[in-house]
Amino acid sequence: MLKRTADVALVFVTALMCAAQTKKATKPFVPPAPLYAIDPVISKDPGCARDFAKASLLDGVEQRKALAELVAFECTEMIEGIYRAFLQDSKTVTVNDHAVLARQVHLVALTEVPGTKEPITWHERITAEGWVLDNVLVRMSDEDLKFVLGRSLRNMKRPRLSN
């Protein structure tokens, strides 16, 4: 009988201890700030992104020749505008024994300053897909983006080069 009373008491104490434990308050999920790319150079595959990274490390005539080859072979292109970047994949490419992160992105042009009706009219395309180097992508909130854009976008029209 004494053993049974001890067992019941142990179960009762254990139940009290479990009930006394409070759940830790969980923090609400806050999504990361969106990624943006401004006038990005976009490559069609990770190999082209690696070649662009190599060309970027060169200088002078050598760099211009390497970049001209990439454009001539339709390996890379620069597109004008401010784009929201949606990540699809990432790969590490090696450039001169250094690891460089290339990101596959889907880019969507911003057509107005976030939170306003102020238009952005100088984007070249509405959407684009390809690979960019990681240092092209900038993470910022809508408020930060508005601050960065500031007055510079008001009535701004980028000049187009004629062929």
Confirm if 110 and 125 have CB atoms less than 8 A apart. no
Three-state DSSP state, 89: strand
Confirm if 126 and 39 have CB atoms less than 8 A apart. no
Instruction: Give, for 71, the enclosing helix (H) or strand (E).
Output: helix 60-72
DSSP codes of every residue in 18-33 = HHHPPPPPPPPP-PPP
Listed by start position, the domains of the chain span 32-110+125-139
User: CA of 36: how far to CAs of 88, 110, 124, in Å?
Assistant: 14, 9, 15
pLDDT at 16: 58
Q: Where are the beta strands (DSSP E) in the chain?
A: 35-38, 41-43, 76-78, 82-95, 98-109, 127-133, 138-139
Determine if the pTM surpasses 0.95: no
pLDDT of the chain, 163 residues: tens digit per residue: 545 665 655 556 566 566 555 567 788 877 777 899 888 999 999 999 999 999 988 889 999 999 999 999 999 998 887 888 999 999 998 888 888 899 999 998 877 766 667 776 666 678 889 999 998 898 888 777 777 776 444 444 444 443 3
- How far is Cα 40 from Cα 83, in angstroms, rounded to an integer? 8
